[in-house]
Amino acid sequence: MAKLTLDRILQSQGFGTRKHCRELVRAGEVRVHGETIADAAASFDADGLHFEVFGETWTFRRHLYLALDKPANYECSRKPSHHPGVLTLLPEQFAWRDVQPIGRLDHDTTGLLLLSDDGAFIHAQSSPRRHVPKIYVATTHAPVTAELVAHLEAGVQLHDEPAPLAGKARQLGEHAIELVLEEGKYHQVKRMLAAAGNHCVALRRVAIGGLTLEGLGLGEGEWCYLDEEALGLLAERGS
């Protein structure tokens, strides 16, 4: 990648307009290689560049690939209407970079959510042709039974779907069931449980492909960057 001026580097990383980024430099708020830079037109090799803004260290990234353990009562929308948006859980400059959630979790559903500012990646991850399994853990109102598991695996008919929907199911506890789905229908887990005669009282997504919350070590409300190894797990079928 060709060298970029410092103001362009800062702008590309979400620190504001070029004018604002120049002001940050002039104010002495930007350091590169441990040195305060006074010239916003100074150029640097951007790839992998470490720099500081307001004393916090950042690494230049051409695109952002993020995982978030979404808490309840947050909306997966850039323009939330009834609850805070998930972007409020991330550094402010990520919103300037047009980071957006990939797919949606209901406001009361928790768990693994991917976000990015890479349009091609977002499109690829959102494609219904990928058939990458997503693993959910549901807490149910009525006890989980062998009949419920069998019913979900055989398929349940939803009123607005042309064919029954099925998923791999496994009982985890008296009121807990794991469901593995490859589709992304609206409220699918909740509607499937209702169609099978039970009711979902809490829902958590724990994995996408081979990428798991447990493997990432995230707690609710926490986020992390995804490296190449983690991104590769998204294509795996999981366990």
- Residues belonging to the active site: 106
DSSP annotation of 56: E
Is the CB of residue 38 less than 8 Å from the CB of residue 25? yes
The CA distance from 99 to 201, in Å, is: 30
The CA distance from 222 to 8, in Å, is: 29
Chain-centroid distance of CA 203 in Å reads 16
Q: What residues have CB less than 8 Å from 38, skipping those under 6 apart?
A: 25, 26, 28
Please write down the HEC assignment for all residues of 102-169. ECCCCCCEEEEEEEECCHHHHHHHHCCCCCCCEEEEEEECCCCCHHHHHHHHHCECCCCCCCCECCEE
- CA-to-CA separations, 214 to 67, 179, 219, 237, in angstroms, rounded: 12, 17, 9, 16
| The token pair that represents 207 in the structure block | 């994995």
